[in-house]
Amino acid sequence: MMALFRLVLLLFLSSCTAVLADVLIDSGVVSVYSCSENSTIATPQMSANIDSLVAQLTSSTSQNRFSVATYGKGTDQVYGLGQCRRDVNIKDCARCLRNATLSIRTFCANRADVWMWYNDTCTLRFHDSKFFGTVDPSSFTNYYLGDHPQHPSAFKKQLDALISKVSSEAIVPANEAVGKGSSFSVASNATIYALAQCTRDLSQHSCNECLNIVTGNLLKFCNNEKTVGCRVASTACYVHYETYQFYYPLDS
């Protein structure tokens, strides 16, 4: 089993209620995830269905970089989604999904509504209710570093423009729900790298809606005049920025 360091963060809801969310750190790989306390695995059959579902998702997603699936019948039926970034090869995609599965089945053992963005490479979600194509405006989590930019005001101005650019790229269908880019500013004396992703079950409109929510939360909770790296994730989209390149070239 992977040696995982488990951090507990706050998952802020739109109602301003706070519940526990988590970040996993394994050999420098940071993954954000949530296990809903409102949905539990009701029967052994549902648990078995989840195991079969994620195995099916791992196989189909590693080939196509995206898949949705349904498994089981009646009240034990479960729904799932798997996705890898389009530049990730088959082997790395499958490995990412296996690691995500191991993590969430370990730390969310009795939950039937779970999502994880494993590093920036893949996402895995399953639920006992159908969720495809929907955006949950109330569910997100964030993780940020404590290092400070040299010139906070200039850094924030540069960052805002870059986040807007990559988010606009992510909603273009030809980009398969991913936008990435970098920006250097003399005023901030920094190069910033940013990545925006949506799950590919979302429409262009819904992807834009999700990213607007997440980027709003990024500006609110990441305190990006004072931190040089942050990521905010929701059930269906994800934004991440750093002052080093953390993603593969997407045009390879």
HEC string of 177-189 equals CEEEEEEEECCCC
Q: How far apart are CA 10 and CA 19, in angstroms?
A: 6
When mean pLDDT is compared over 44-48, 103-107, 110-114, the highest value belongs to 44-48
Model confidence over 213-238: pLDDT tens digits?
Answer: 999 888 777 776 678 888 888 899 99
What pairs with residue 104 in β-bridges? none
Residues near 154 by beta carbon (within 8 Å), at least 6 away in sequence: 185, 187, 188
Q: How far apart are CA 251 and CA 166, in angstroms?
A: 14
Q: Is the pLDDT of residue 91 over 80?
A: yes
Task: Tell me the fold of 141-242.
Answer: Killer Toxin P4; Chain A (3.30.430)
Question: Rounded to an integer, what distance in angstroms lies between the CA atom of residue 109 and that of residue 46?
Answer: 12
Q: Which two tokens stand for residue 54?
A: 């994620």
**What amino acid occupies position 210?**
C
Closest CA to 183 of 152, 168, 161: 161
Where do you find CATH 3.30.430.20 in the chain? Answer: 5-132, 141-242
pTM here is 0.84
Name the architecture of domain 5-132: 2-Layer Sandwich (3.30)
Position 115 confidence tier, pLDDT thresholds 50, 70, 90: very high
**What's the pLDDT at 246?**
85
